[in-house]
Amino acid sequence: MKDRTLILIKPDAIRKGLIGVILSRFENVGFKIVKLKMVRLSEEDAKNFYSVHMNKPFFKNLVPFIASGPVVAAVIEGEDVRVVTRKIIGPTNPKYAPPGTIRGDFGTSITENAIHASDSHDSFLKEYEVIFGSQD
């Protein structure tokens, strides 16, 4: 089985109608979307999803933002998927994200940066459970 990761298209990107544009960036590099779901996170699920950031200054804005509207979660699969995904999305702060990255093209702030991606296998497992429940 190839490596998997989770991406979350955030409410700002959903409002801008960017679901297909963002998903196509992963398909265009040969990654396969193996699971897809649109959901609106409760505040409790949002806190759980982003619990690793609980002590960071942006956490207080991130939770209400991510729960403010629907998100699209996708499990993507492919060779070196986490490393390549980090390159596709760009740095967290869109100000430093180069054009051609998702955050460089569509992000407007550290919170409203269009997309989240799991940064490790452990994060993937935890985030997958919040969104999809236990692994199949």
What is the tens place of the pLDDT at every residue in 14-33? 999 999 999 999 999 999 99
53 is catalytic: no
> Active-site residue among 116, 117, 127, 130?
116
Could you tell me which of 18, 8, 26, 13 has the C-alpha nearest to residue 77?
A: 26
Question: pTM here?
Answer: 0.94
Neighbours of 22 (CB within 10 A): 23
Domain 4-132, CATH homologous superfamily name and number:
Nucleoside diphosphate kinase-like domain (3.30.70.141)
73-131 residue pLDDT tens: 999 999 999 999 999 999 999 999 999 999 999 999 999 999 999 999 999 999 999 99
How many angstroms separate the CA atoms of 61 and 38, rounded?
22
Cα 90 to Cα 1: distance, rounded to the nearest angstrom: 26
